[in-house]
Amino acid sequence: MKHFLDILPTPVADLRQMIDHARAMKDARKDRPKGMCDDETPLEGRMVALIFEKPSTRTRVSFDVGARQMGAQTMVLSGADMQLGHGETIADTARVLSRYVDLIMIRTFEEQTLVEMAENATVPVINGLTNRTHPCQIMADIMTFEEHRGPIKGRKVVWSGDGNNVFASFAQASAQFGFDLVFTGPKPLDPEPEIMEAARAVGANIEIIRDPMAAVEGADLVVTDTWVSMHDPASARERRHNQLRGYQVNAELMGRAKPDALFMHCLPAHRDDEATSEVMDGPASVIFDEAENRLHAQKAVMRWCLGA
Ligand code: CP
Ligand code: NVA
């Protein structure tokens, strides 16, 4: 069973193949109406369930459209409306869904929910974001960097802000794809030590540099994300703003990176908090290519899971 639960446990050759495959599928349907199927429909006859226990725009729409372009049928389910949200176990839900559908994508809170779903499903399970990681996002981000700047191997990526779930998947990717990663942010918002240790144990080069100006020196890519994630308490907002203000990605910070450095943000953004609109809409920004590439990258992930 090929589940896509995280970047680290997925073989590096498979990750590379998925990204190349995504590029090829994107090129093959250039200028085609978005609702039209691909030339090849390898998911014909398959049923895909997309479960959301948290809000989503990109993940929801890109998985749905991507699956349909490959010939599958889809259903989008809200966790709150399922028995899952009313006491049915994850294990029972996984066993039942496996009798109806061929593939399950789930966005949830605790990583344990994803793990239990995968352990009990008899069909592949894809991680559509947990409190801990967001691997589909990073597949799209690597694809986007390489489209614009060529191989990411050996490049310097700097993350400025909260050491959250998206950063965690970047940390895992830095080991798998061989780029150098710098985290710059306040100590209380450091990434989970266990995430860092696991990535370093398989060769990741990740540094923590507190001074954002020093951190971005020579960066090929500067990345940030919201200061308050969906799983963070709303009450954390003011404290987070005070802690993170100095880590905003603005023109001054981008000016310290390489002249051709790119800027990324997984979106949704709180404009002029974690990044200024000047940067988000400026020449370095590839945020909408990133969003588009969720579609192409996840099509490759779904095909990999189903061996199709
Ligand atoms: N980047 C991302 O996963 O966006 P959504 O929350 O809109 O799915
Ligand atoms: N870190 C953000 C990412 C959203 C796509 C969150 O978890 O809310």
Residue range of the domain that includes 188:
137-290
Together in a domain, 127 and 195: no
Is 3 contained in some domain?
Answer: no
Together in a domain, 141 and 71: no
Together in a domain, 279 and 223: yes
Is 5 contained in some domain?
Answer: no
Is 1 contained in some domain?
Answer: no
229 CB near ligand 2 (under 6 Å): yes
Cα torsion at 251, 257, 260, 266 (round to 10°)? -70
Together in a domain, 59 and 154: no
Is 300 contained in some domain?
Answer: yes
Q: What is the mean pLDDT of residues 84-89?
A: 91
Together in a domain, 101 and 210: no
Query: In this model, does residue 43 exceed pLDDT 90?
Result: yes
- Tokens standing for residue 205: 């080069």
Q: What is the mean pLDDT of residues 223-239?
A: 97
**What are the DSSP calls for 134-190, one per residue?**
-HHHHHHHHHHHHHHHS--TT-EEEEES---HHHHHHHHHHHHHT-EEEEES-GGGP
- The phi and psi torsions of 273 (rounded to 5 degrees) equal -100, -90
Nearest-angstrom CA–CA distance, 292 and 302: 16
Tell me the pLDDT tens digit for each residue of 269-292.
999 999 999 999 999 999 999 999
Please name every residue paired with 181 in a beta bridge, in sequence order, or none if there are none.
Answer: 157, 206
ipTM of this predicted complex? 0.99
- Cα 183 to middle of ligand 1, angstroms: 22
CA angle at 214 for the pair 208 and 220, rounded to the nearest 5°: 85
Please name every residue paired with 249 in a beta bridge, in sequence order, or none if there are none.
Answer: 275
Q: Which atom of ligand 1 is nearest to the CA of 128?
A: 3
- For helices 165-177 and 135-149, angle between their N-to-C axes, nearest 10 degrees: 50
Together in a domain, 169 and 76: no
Q: What is the mean pLDDT of residues 121-145?
A: 98
Residue 64, SS3 per DSSP: helix
Query: In this model, does residue 305 exceed pLDDT 90?
Result: yes
Q: What is the pLDDT of residue 85?
A: 86
Together in a domain, 268 and 226: yes
Catalytic site positions: 107, 134, 137, 225, 266, 294
Q: What is the pLDDT of residue 11?
A: 98
Q: Residue 158 — very low, low, confident or very high, per pLDDT cuts 50/70/90?
A: very high
Rounded to two decimals, what is the model's pTM? Answer: 0.98
Kind plus residue range of the DSSP H or E element containing 22? helix 12-28
Is 7 contained in some domain?
Answer: no
- Tokens standing for residue 243: 């802690």
Q: Residue 109 — very low, low, confident or very high, per pLDDT cuts 50/70/90?
A: very high
The answer to whether 263 touches 241, Cβ cutoff 8 Å, is no
Is 118 contained in some domain?
Answer: yes
- Read off the CATH number of the domain in which 95 is found: 3.40.50.1370
Together in a domain, 83 and 178: no
Is 147 contained in some domain?
Answer: yes
Tell me the pLDDT tens digit for each residue of 182-209.
999 999 999 999 999 999 999 999 999 9
Together in a domain, 79 and 192: no
Q: What is the pLDDT of residue 47?
A: 98
Query: In this model, does residue 218 exceed pLDDT 90?
Result: yes
266 CB near ligand 2 (under 6 Å): yes
Nearest-angstrom CA–CA distance, 123 and 107: 16
Together in a domain, 103 and 170: no
Q: Which atom of ligand 1 is nearest to the CA of 136?
A: 3
Q: CA 125 → CA 49, 158, 295, distances in Å? A: 10, 30, 17
Nearest-angstrom CA–CA distance, 121 and 118: 5
Q: What is the pLDDT of residue 181?
A: 98
Going 184 to 185 to 188 to 192, the CA torsion angle's sign is: negative
Together in a domain, 196 and 123: no
Together in a domain, 143 and 100: no
Is 4 contained in some domain?
Answer: no
- For helices 12-28 and 165-177, angle between their N-to-C axes, nearest 10 degrees: 100
- Number of separate domains in the chain: 2
